[in-house]
Amino acid sequence: MTTSEQLFEKAKTLIPGGVNSPVRAFRAVGGSPLFIKSAKGPYLYDEDGRQYIELINSWGPMILGHAFEPVEKAVRDAIQYSFSFGAPTRKEVEMAELITAMVPSVEKVRMVNSGTEATMAAIRVARGFTGRDKIIKFEGCYHGHGDSFLIAAGSGAMTMGVPDSPGVTKATAADTLTAPYNDLAAVEVLLENNQNQVAAVILEPVVGNMGCVLPEPGFLEGIRSLCDKYGTLLIFDEVMTGFRLSKGGAQERFGITPDLTTMGKIIGGGMPVGAYGGRADIMNQVSPAGPIYQAGTLSGNPIAMSAGMAMLHYLNEHPEVYTRLETIGDKLVNGFRKGLQKAGLNYTINHIGSMFTLFMTGRPVSNFSDAKSCDVPLFGRYFHAMLDRGVYLAPSQFESLFLSIALTDDLVDQIIQANEESLLEVIK
């Protein structure tokens, strides 16, 4: 029994399911999860000393690779002044200034501790600002584990077979309306049938939690127009896409201006951080400026702010990062396609910049229903074949991969070779 297997057996006696986030349990791919001891650059090292080239990057934050020196130095420098104050700091002001400069739609911003906190707060603010109760979300979009979002959720909820979590009340569910992603007509029907009742439409501008799913041409523009028509706020959940698809996020890449934006992952440089922000007139309703309450003891934590600022400053000052990520993504995806064609498999790859997913289906994937057509057992065999060759993928068919600039051309070639060998193995 490996060290990871021993730790997992012990963890199951102490932690629900043995993990602190469901997808980590490997139930979607079979087998036992690896317990990670350390990471550096493009590599993970498990408790048994094995090395893996990884394509998750902590589910997105490590866009510059693990333990990137400027970020690591910023954390070391900050720690000497203590870990938390529960009081305002200069760094919070500087972080807010940096975010508002990089994301023009964000005129004011509030720091929190996770993406889930950010989306929960954004929905409360939208309801308080509009005086309306209902929200519209999209099937397969995951916005954290807040009650309002665990209706037709993707990601872990999907792979665990619990798309609607027990503990979510019928009243909460009734206030959450759902539509298929990329279906403008369905959204318009919901808005028309619930006039003056919908506070916000919330969506991932590029979905990462049913696998990587891109908006079809005109979809985001259409949502913006519908929100304007019906007096509904548009919330972009950019916890994954923020500062990844461009320094201004997906909204910059697609040229769409939301009313509110939620952020996380990259803004913390790997530390637990989230944020929500948007138009000043909306954000001025947040306490203590306004009546909508939200608070957090560790919000704006000085260590997290230091890591996040080091990360964002680097991205802001080095636009070549995004050029390099596009190159890496294109090379990997093209290499994967050649391997899939050689193996004779039906497949779909959705790809944008440094995000992509290989779907084990020949059907185009543009929504939750399409994603569910995948051959999940085949993906599980493929995942383990790649793992055996030293490549760590997301342990679920329904997750995006996230690339970092730590991937060299030689490593990309190794991954492409591992992909071809793995595909040929699983079709035997």
Is position 142 annotated as part of the catalytic site? Answer: yes
Is position 43 annotated as part of the catalytic site? Answer: no
Pairing mode of beta strands 355-359, 348-352: antiparallel
The whole-angstrom separation of Cα 404 and Cα 413 is: 15
Locate 409 and state its tokens: 């051309």
- Which candidate in 46, 108, 142, 247 is catalytic? 142
The whole-angstrom separation of Cα 280 and Cα 304 is: 24
217 upstream amide cis, omega within 30 of 0: no
Q: How far apart are the first and last CA of the chain?
A: 28
- Which candidate in 46, 259, 265, 382 is catalytic? 265
Residue owning tokens 């909820």: 157
The whole-angstrom separation of Cα 214 and Cα 399 is: 13
Residue owning tokens 């497949």: 347
Helices 409-426 + 320-343 axis angle, to 10: 20
- Which candidate in 46, 175, 237, 370 is catalytic? 237
The whole-angstrom separation of Cα 240 and Cα 307 is: 17
**How far, rounded to the nearest angstrom, does the alpha carbon of residue 245 sit from its chain's CA centroid?**
12
Is position 265 annotated as part of the catalytic site? Answer: yes
CB 351 within 8 A of CB 212: yes
Active site residues per annotation: 142, 237, 265
